[in-house]
Structure 1
Amino acid sequence: MLHPKKGEDMSVGKGLCCIVGVLLVLVACDDSKQELDVQIINPVNIEENAMINCILEDVVNEVEFNLMAAGEGMNTKGDSVPQVKISRQEAQASPSSIILDYGTGNQKDYLGREKRGKICNEISGRYDTGTCKQEIHFEDFYINDLKINGSIEVQSTGFNDNDQLSFTINYQDIVFESTNGKTYTISGSKTKEWVVGYDTPSNPWDDQFLVSGSGSGIDSEERAYHFELSTPLLISQSCEFILSGEVAFTVENDSCTYNFGDGLCDNKGSYEVNGSRKNFEFGRYTFRYNY
């Protein structure tokens, strides 16, 4: 009977180890792929969508605050970016324009956010009436080094059945780009109701709005997403964050709901997926921050 030599025995053993190792790697890769497929909806996706919604509301609020301030003759230096230059160009005929110029270098606003560049607004009619139309666009505008391009159209639709001034807001090809080169796009439409503060034009800090609507785009992972505001967002002029509201959020074929909390002015929310509820925080102003 022939027996394998010692060297041959070791070669066979090494061969078997290699085969087993390859199989383990293949199994691990397949498991990782399945895990990634299952976790298309994840905390990072939710945080980024919450952040985008919050920034869009903040931009519109910033423009409207300065628009109202210009109309009322108020000094906004202590309330907005201290060095912001508001240039109002108004001829006898509409439209007029207001340019919020934050300069070429970062400047901190009263909430500590750094801004630079310009937000330009073409206006037809008075903001606090039912006939106002605004066309907002950006020129090299950044907030906390997050660049924003695209345009926003705000159209007043008059007073609703509850005697609240209402607006439609259309987001047209908005693109956010963070310092790591990741982008996030959004187009969509929202409706906005002025529910508190209309009767106190000299005190913009008591203004509150309810916002409904939907949007879609491509997220920072290059996945298609869609969101629907299933419960209206509560927006306050005195808070940089969204106070409350619920969002039905879908990325490709995965869905969940998330909310902005219970009315506190903070960056905390929670989401529910597969019957499990978890907490999250948003507001990092960058995409795929943990990658």
Structure 2
Amino acid sequence: MRVVVLTLVAFSLVFSTSCRKRKENRSTTTSQDQAAAEAGFDDVFKVTESAIKDNDLEKSGNAFASIYGNCATVSINPPLPDTTFPKTITIDFGSTNCEDSYGVNRRGQIIAVITGKYRDAGTSITITPQDYYLNDNKIEGTKTVQNIGPNSDGNTEFTVEISNATVTYPDGDFTTYESSRVREWVVGESTDGLLGILDDEYDITGTASGTDRTGRDYEMTITSPLRVAVLCRWVKQGTVEIQPEDLYLRTVDFGNGDCDATVNVEINGNNYTFIMN
């Protein structure tokens, strides 16, 4: 009888482990967490870029006010007309949520240190959120962007490093993130004025790694460039491959260029869809 009981217990443990692994292999949690980190730090840079361009540190325009309205105040130290660098830019959204013209809520501060003109090769921008929340997700970490000049197609490229990043959800769950990218300015580099800012788009290539909210480590590689745009809060197109520890490879498809929140995930021949926050 004892042998039978031990056999049943062993079978139960194997069956339970197998069921749990099947459930984890169907989960899109890792893909959702990676996409949330991607969106959070893309947002931090978009806000900073708009502030730079609207404060005579780049081509002129008033995109910041048209997108963020009266949600934030921008200060620069040392202030213009002092033309010396580095400059520290503080973008303050206040302590309560403020909704922009696209329905996105933000609060907290973004601090950026810029070493020169945005368009000048060699310029670096170090961006650090301070108690910064995007739709109630807290974004922490450091994003460093460096202008490395034009590529063979004549498009300006930037290296992008994200370190010590954490996205904390309203329920207290969190995901960690690191990445190393190249960002190519593919649309809008030659245009000026308000339209010249609002039409800007970039293609992003590179790799990332992190830990999802369940504590599972993963590695990510961009297999088709991610297209991001000033006028879209989500990644418009591109694909990535995510390899969570001990699970099947995930292929994440952000679409074909439409500005929408739909993300498709393929896992071991099965397709799933989730909507970005």
Q: TM-score, normalised by structure 1?
A: 0.84
CA separation of 1:190 and 1:81: change in aligned 2, threshold 3 A: farther
Q: What residue in structure 2 maps to residue 221 of structure 1? A: 214
Q: What residue in structure 1 maps to residue 34 of structure 2? A: 49
Percent identity over the alignment is 26
Q: Does 1:121 align with 2:105?
A: no
Query: Counterparts of 1:262-281 in structure 2 under 5 Å?
Result: 262-276=256-270, 278-281=271-274
1:29-49 CA distances to partner (integer Å, 9 max, x unpaired)?
Answer: 643321222343422322222
Q: Could you tell me whether the CA contact under 8 Å between 1:137 and 1:150 is conserved in 2? A: yes
Query: Counterparts of 1:29-40 in structure 2 under 5 Å?
Result: 30-40=14-24
C-alpha RMSD of matched pairs (Å): 2.2
Q: Does 1:155 align with 2:146?
A: yes
Measured after TM superposition, the shift of residue 81 of structure 1 is: 4.6
Q: What residue in structure 2 maps to residue 74 of structure 1? A: 61
Measured after TM superposition, the shift of residue 279 of structure 1 is: 3.4
Q: What residue in structure 1 maps to residue 95 of structure 2? A: 104
Q: What residue in structure 1 maps to residue 188 of structure 2? A: 197
Alignment partner of 1:59 out of 28, 31, 44: 44
1:43-97 CA distances to partner (integer Å, 9 max, x unpaired)?
Answer: 2322222222122222212211221121245333221252210111125531001
Q: Could you tell me whether the CA contact under 8 Å between 1:258 and 1:271 is conserved in 2? A: yes
- What letter matches 1:74 in structure 2? G
Q: Does 1:94 align with 2:85?
A: yes
3-state secondary structure, aligned to 2:55: helix
Q: What residue in structure 1 maps to residue 201 of structure 2? A: 208
1:125-171 CA distances to partner (integer Å, 9 max, x unpaired)?
Answer: 11022121101101111111111111111011001100001000000
Measured after TM superposition, the shift of residue 261 of structure 1 is: 1.1
Consecutive unaligned residues of structure 1, counting only runs of 5 or more, are 1-18, 285-291
CA separation of 1:105 and 1:161: change in aligned 2, threshold 3 A: same
Q: What residue in structure 2 maps to residue 177 of structure 1? A: 168
3-state secondary structure, aligned to 1:40: helix
Which moves more between the two structures, 77-86 or 23-32?
Answer: 23-32
CA separation of 1:180 and 1:23: change in aligned 2, threshold 3 A: farther
3-state secondary structure, aligned to 1:169: strand
Measured after TM superposition, the shift of residue 230 of structure 1 is: 0.9
Number of aligned residues: 265
Please identify the structure whose Cα radius of gyration is greater: 1
- What letter matches 1:245 in structure 2? G
Q: Could you tell me whether the CA contact under 8 Å between 2:252 and 2:264 is conserved in 1? A: yes
Measured after TM superposition, the shift of residue 283 of structure 1 is: 2.2
- What letter matches 2:265 in structure 1? Y
3-state secondary structure, aligned to 1:140: strand
CA separation of 1:30 and 1:107: change in aligned 2, threshold 3 A: same
Which moves more between the two structures, 207-216 or 173-182?
Answer: 173-182
CA separation of 1:113 and 1:24: change in aligned 2, threshold 3 A: farther
Measured after TM superposition, the shift of residue 270 of structure 1 is: 1.5
1:83-126 CA distances to partner (integer Å, 9 max, x unpaired)?
Answer: 21011112553100111100011111122121111000000111
Q: What residue in structure 2 maps to residue 168 of structure 1? A: 159
Distance 1:153 1:134 in 2: 6
- What letter matches 1:86 in structure 2? V
Higher relative contact order by CA 8 Å / sep ≥ 6: 1 or 2? 2
Distance 1:192 1:51 in 2: 19
CA separation of 1:81 and 1:184: change in aligned 2, threshold 3 A: farther
Q: Does 1:144 align with 2:113?
A: no
3-state secondary structure, aligned to 2:17: helix
- What letter matches 1:98 in structure 2? I
Consecutive unaligned residues of structure 2, counting only runs of 5 or more, are none
Q: What residue in structure 2 maps to residue 83 of structure 1? A: 71
Q: TM-score, normalised by structure 2?
A: 0.88
3-state secondary structure, aligned to 2:54: helix
CA separation of 1:28 and 1:266: change in aligned 2, threshold 3 A: farther
